[in-house]
Amino acid sequence: MKTLITLFTLSLSINALATSYELPSEYFDVIGTVSMVEAKHEDTLLDIARRTDIGQDQMERVNPGVDRWLPGAGTQIIIPSKHILPAGPRKGVVLNLPEMRLYYYPPKKAGQLPQVQTYPIGIGRMDWATPLGKTTITAKTKDPAWRPTENIRREHAERGDPLPRVVPAGPNNPLGRYALRLGIPSYLIHGTNKPFGVGMRVSHGCIRMLPEDIEKLFPQLPVGTPVSIINQPVKAGWYGGKLYLEVHPPLEEHYDKGALVEEVMLALDDATARRPIELNNIVIDREVNQQTGLPTVISTGR
């Protein structure tokens, strides 16, 4: 694993990893770095994930064998803060569901390079799957009240946890302090009062963000901002003349090994059409099987 990453130690007293990156050109596809942090005695893997803006599931995948609740003082933890940008237009908000990550492309400012921001998200469970498609932000609310649907209230009642028709703003509100309503009826991008669920399939279909992340994003997104909800478990992209591949576990409802291999081939065909290069098939096969979500060099030679 260490051959795949850039090693350096970060202080865990602050969130030291950037969420905003410059894009020198449209052919610049890889952002961020993979790094290492050293766990403290009081840390859980979930604490480290939140401080470094990583989703829970991916943090566990790239740190196999590390105890989720007690990593242990001095344990080296891999922080997978390197990402290939999703294929498609770099405009507005892009939500890549298998990756459980949001990308926001702010309008370009005069005299500055284009930028992208990225944040982990929580998405809908398989039985409450987040829908795919294109939509827009239609409304913004600070300190929203939550009006659970009848289906959600019925589910909670069957579990012996009845819900009121309206949950007022406050610490017990599952929407957190900020909500962005989408053009798809009943769906939101919102904060949460359960931040450890970010990076997992735990919601009733809405998109959850860490409280500190949506607080940063909320004021930047005007009503009308385009939102694309996509299904890209496989991404390929260029950086420094090298081709990278990134494979995430597919959504269970869409999983098919043959279809995943086909997606890899299509992504590589698209990437190599821009710049022919020799590929390392052994590494490609490994990434398809391991599905760590770490961008990995798959080109050979110079």
Instruction: Tell me which residues are annotated as active site.
Output: 190, 206
User: What are the phi and psi torsion angles at 288 (to 5°)?
Assistant: -60, -35
Antiparallel, parallel or unpaired: β 188-190 and 178-182: antiparallel
Tokens of 113: 């390079």
Compute the chain's Rg from CA coordinates.
20
Cβ count near 104 (within 10 Å): 22
Antiparallel, parallel or unpaired: β 20-22 and 30-38: unpaired
User: What's the distance, CA 210 to chain centroid?
Assistant: 11
Place of tokens 């979500």: 293
Torsion 98-101-104-105 (CA) sign: negative
Torsion 177-18-247-273 (CA) sign: positive
